[in-house]
A and B are shown apart, each in its own frame.
Chain A
Amino acid sequence: MTTKRFFAGFLLVSLVLAGLVSYYASSSPDGLEKVASDKGISAKEKDHSLKDSPLGDYGVKGVDDARLSGGLAGVIGVAAVLAVGGGLFWVVRRRGPAAPATPAAGAASGTPAPASEPSQNAS
Chain B
Amino acid sequence: MKDVHVPDGFIDAPVSIAAGAVAVAGVAVALRGARRELDDRTAPLAGLTAAFVFAAQMLNFPVASGTSGHLLGGTLAAILVGPYTGILCVSVVLLMQGLLFADGGLTALGVNITNMALVTVAVGYGLFRLLLRVLPRTRASVAGASFAAAVVSVPAAAVSFTLIYALGGTTDISLGKVAGAMIGVHVLIGIGEAVITAVTVSSVLAVRPDLVYGARGLIKPLELRTGAPVRPAGDAGPAEPSRA
Contact = CB atoms under 8 A, between A and B. Distances in A.
A11 B67 CA distance: 29
Interface string A21-41: 110011111111111101111
A123 B89 CA distance: 21
A1 interface: yes
Contacts of A17: 52, 55-56, 58-59
Interface residues of A, number: 75
B106 A6 contact: no
Interface string B45-72: 1111011111110111111001111100
A5 to B, nearest CB: 9
A101 interface: yes
Contacts of A82: 47-48, 50-51
- Judged by DSSP, the binding face of A is helix
Interface residues of B, number: 80
A15 B54 CA distance: 10
A31 B101 contact: no
A32 B5 contact: yes
A95 to B, nearest CB: 8
Nearest to A122: B36
Given A14-B55, A32-B4, A100-B210, A81 B35 contact: no
A58 B103 contact: yes
Contacts of B69: 30-31
Contact of A46 (B7, B44, B51, B211): B7
Contact of A48 (B8, B58, B185): B8
B243 interface: no
Interface string A46-57: 111111110111
A12 to B, nearest CB: 10
A93 B2 contact: no
A63 interface: no
Interface string A76-90: 111111101111111
16 contacts: A3-B41, A3-B208, A18-B55, A26-B62, A26-B68, A30-B60, A31-B158, A32-B4, A40-B171, A41-B169, A43-B170, A44-B171, A49-B106, A77-B54, A78-B55, A86-B48
Interface of A: 1, 3, 6-7, 10-11, 13-15, 17-18, 21-22, 25-36, 38-53, 55-58, 73-74, 76-82, 84-90, 92-94, 96-101, 113, 117, 120-121, 123
Interface of B: 1-10, 31, 34-36, 38-48, 50-56, 58-63, 66-70, 85, 88-89, 92-93, 95-103, 105-106, 158, 161, 165, 169-171, 173, 177-178, 181-182, 185-186, 188-189, 207-208, 210-211, 216, 219
